[in-house]
Amino acid sequence: MKPRTKKLAPFVPLTKGTMKTPAWKATSHGAHSLYAVLKGRYNNRLQNSVYLAGRDATEELGSFSRRDNVRRWFRELEYYGFIRMVRLAHHGVNGHGRAPHYRLTEEWYNGQAPTRDYLNWDGVVFHEQKTPAHYQTKNRSRGPYAGATLAHTVCPLDDPIQPKARNGGPPGEAMCEEDRGPPAASITSLTTPLLLNGASLPLPEPGSWLDWASMLVTEDALSGLWSGAKRAVD
């Protein structure tokens, strides 16, 4: 009696012939993982095209797989010839977006034989030059376990403010070099001479204001000041 063959669990076939090609060895590890996910959506009986949205790809590939990396891996696989786009992204009948569809060049597609475009790779390594805005982005995170880093600027953002030279002539000089004596002190805070009993009192000499502060103001002096001010108003 012929022994019953054990059925294998679902798996994703990656042929050794494909993995030994120079194009596969030049492909990044992220693109390898993405290709395995796309290969798992291919059906040999249906010979269908495969598609995968960027959001679904980040969930299936796990952490450290951002959507911009997934888009770059799609372009890398197409550059080396492992996939070819057969339908562009578009909106469906219900208004929801549809991801672009690709055919696997190492598999049959709708009755068409495999093209294996990766065998025609010319040896030029895939490289994408990022825009200057990518390097100037601040607080760029490198995954959930990475800290924020600051981009270094090549030149200062603002030019330093330089004071403008004013045409104000030569610096001023002293008109006379002779000694002008000690600094002058205030003579009095009054703007008009005092009137006492109708008589005008002379203002004190410079330096004699302490004598005025020591004077006693009597009732006669106050009455004289009042009468003098009243006559001045009349």
* pLDDT confidence of residue 5: 72
Whichever domain contains 111, its CATH number is 1.10.10
Count of structural domains within the chain: 1
Q: Would 158 be classed as within a structural domain?
A: no
Residue 230: Cβ-neighbour burial (10 angstroms; 0-12, 13-18, 19+): exposed
* pLDDT confidence of residue 191: 53
Q: At what angle do helices 29-39 and 67-80 cross, to 10 degrees?
A: 80
Q: Would 164 be classed as within a structural domain?
A: no
Q: Would 140 be classed as within a structural domain?
A: no
Q: Would 169 be classed as within a structural domain?
A: no
Q: Would 189 be classed as within a structural domain?
A: no
Query: pTM for this structure?
Result: 0.54
Structural domain including 121 reads 16-128
CA 153-159-162 angle, 5° bins: 150
Q: Would 219 be classed as within a structural domain?
A: no
* pLDDT confidence of residue 124: 93
State the 10-residue block means of pLDDT for the chain, 234 residues long. Answer: 74 93 95 95 94 90 86 94 92 78 96 95 87 60 50 52 62 60 58 51 52 50 64 62
Q: Would 168 be classed as within a structural domain?
A: no
* pLDDT confidence of residue 63: 77
> What's the residue count for the chain?
234
* pLDDT confidence of residue 230: 64
Q: Would 93 be classed as within a structural domain?
A: yes
Distance in Å from the first CA to the final CA of the chain: 149
CB 126 within 8 A of CB 80: yes
